[in-house]
Amino acid sequence: MKISGAQTYYQHIKNISVRFAAKPLGNVVFGPSPPNVFVGREGYPNVFVGPLVSVDETVDPSLSDSPAKWTSMGYEQIISLRASMARGMKKHAVRKTSSKPEFHISFSSYTAPMGPAGAMEKMRLTENPVIPKKVDELAEEKVKVRDAVPELVKAGFDYYYMQKLLSAGVLGEKKKLVPTRWSITGTDKILADHYLEKVKESPQIDSPTLYSHEHFDNHYEILLLPGGWEFEQFEAWSPGSAWKTNATVAHEYEPFSGRSDYAESEGGGY
């Protein structure tokens, strides 16, 4: 009998849940952070905010929050990494949990898997954080986010690091918290606008070119056609997959002149 990707996925979740349930957490959670915070979006502007803290001393916390380094891993290793990160939650501010965090893995088609979570009473740093000089300069000078993000990418900072800075409210003039999901879309938009200026001025190709790729049970086909820049995307979800019980197709399009409306079918990003 052939086991589907979704079945394999859920079996990994079951195995990891059993393993972590055997090591319950107490009221005080101590450990290193990637560093990162998670900012919710429900009830905005009164949202839940909290740090991600490693509860497994055998796991490198920076690896737990670096999607770019996950491409050579399998489902179980990635889920284990994310399950090892506890998330504190408090309205308005990041502040020892008032209740023991219960082990639970939550999944979303938009964000990475989330491990145990609990309400926080307070939070204390046990060492001074190290802030990269370039980030500190842009934050102190209150450089606009739209200008700061491309500059940091040019300086060699990781794309996902940009999302963390934007969500934590480090960049910009007003420096306010941004829900994690929105920070992903915002970073995508800023970098896309920055690079598209150069892409649209590039020489056109002479003939159609097709690129194919498969990863984590996802299949990609990228077709490049001669002509002025425009973009069209079709995303199909197979029936019985991890996120959909029925077959679903999402479609988005952007002409050379661009678009200003929200990409609804793709949750804002594509």
What is the four-CA torsion angle of 132, 185, 216, 5, rounded to 10 degrees?
140
Give how far Cα 24 sits from Cα of 83, 155, 231, Å.
13, 42, 48
Place of tokens 């409210």: 169
- In this predicted structure, what is the pLDDT of residue 13? 63
Going by C-beta distance under 8 Å and a sequence separation of 6 or more, which residues neighbour residue 221? Answer: 210, 211, 212
The one-character DSSP state at 204 is P
Task: Determine the length of the chain.
Answer: 270
- In this predicted structure, what is the pLDDT of residue 3? 43
- In this predicted structure, what is the pLDDT of residue 238? 82
Give how far Cα 49 sits from Cα of 29, 115, 143, 262, Å.
16, 15, 24, 25
What is the four-CA torsion angle of 141, 144, 146, 147, rounded to 10 degrees?
-40
Question: Within 10 Å of residue 202's Cβ, how many Cβ atoms?
Answer: 8
Per-residue pLDDT of the chain (270 residues; tens, 9 = 90+): 344 555 665 666 666 665 655 555 666 667 677 777 788 777 777 777 777 777 777 778 778 888 888 888 887 788 888 877 777 666 654 333 445 555 566 666 666 777 666 677 777 777 777 889 999 999 999 999 999 999 999 999 988 899 999 998 898 888 888 888 888 888 988 998 899 988 999 999 999 999 999 988 889 999 999 999 999 999 988 887 766 778 888 899 999 988 888 788 776 665
Give how far Cα 16 sits from Cα of 9, 24, 181, Å.
11, 13, 25
How far apart (Å, rounded) are the C-alpha atoms in residues 152 and 112?
Answer: 23
Please give the structure tokens belonging to residue 105.
Answer: 């893995």
Q: What are phi and psi of 89, to 5 degrees?
A: -135, 130
Residue ranges covered by each domain of the chain: 13-119, 133-199, 209-266
> Of 41, 13, 2, which Cα lies nearest the Cα of 105?
13
Please give the structure tokens belonging to residue 57.
Answer: 């001393």
- In this predicted structure, what is the pLDDT of residue 45? 73
How far apart (Å, rounded) are the C-alpha atoms in residues 69 and 67?
Answer: 5
3-state secondary structure of 72: coil
- In this predicted structure, what is the pLDDT of residue 200? 92
- In this predicted structure, what is the pLDDT of residue 5? 54
Q: What are phi and psi of 145, to 5 degrees?
A: -55, -40
- In this predicted structure, what is the pLDDT of residue 157? 92
For residue 112, the number of C-alpha atoms closer than 13 Å in the C-beta half-sphere is 26
Cα 220 versus chain centre, distance: 20
